[in-house]
Copies of this chain bind each other. A is one copy, B any other.
């Protein structure tokens, strides 16, 4: 019981804590370039310039362009899995609470770390060999965490879904999809969005949206758009 305490910071859990600039500068430069142009559309010279390094300077830190992608994707999956486990642990034995916190955690991650999550999801085909296999394994593990909780809830009679497996996939897809459209300068904070998504997810399982917390204004009108086709307010 005391094991989880080490992970807690104040009265909030680590899975809710998101600090800025978590990646080393070089990986951050690579991530920004990948988000803008894609892995194959990015040149090593662009990444080096963005990180204020020469090309050989870059290769001192990473063996290849592929190694940059692998490091980014591994970081993303590790971070998400640890947070997900923390969230479930915090929920205790209530399946309904486990589900609510896990979906909140998923949504929170895909909003706060949208660039990281976007690349981890969209550049699977650019990963070579074992890295791809390992990445897909992590992704499947994440899907299974949701599957298991939903199945448990079905057994306990808390959840009601005709096709739990399909519902589970739909829920995970709508959460991971956040990374495709979320904007850090939008009106909706990751925390507010996560609560809304947890409620939407609960409804697909026949559970009323239950105890809400706060409510905010509605969405804006898009103007220009960026590389990912999201509205650009910058």
Contact = CB atoms under 8 A, between A and B. Distances in A.
Contacts of A162: 196, 199, 209, 212, 215
Nearest to A127: B229
A44 interface: no
A204 interface: yes
Stoichiometry (number of copies): 2
Interface residues of A, number: 52
B41 A163 contact: no
A36 B215 CA distance: 43
A37 B38 CA distance: 11
A84 B61 CA distance: 50
B170 A180 contact: no
A41 to B, nearest CB: 4
Interface stretch (A1-9, A18-26, A92-100, A118-126): A118-126
A229 B225 CA distance: 28
B166 A228 contact: no
Interface stretch (A51-59, A62-70, A132-140): A132-140
9 contacts: A38-B125, A125-B228, A125-B229, A136-B229, A162-B199, A170-B200, A173-B173, A177-B177, A200-B204
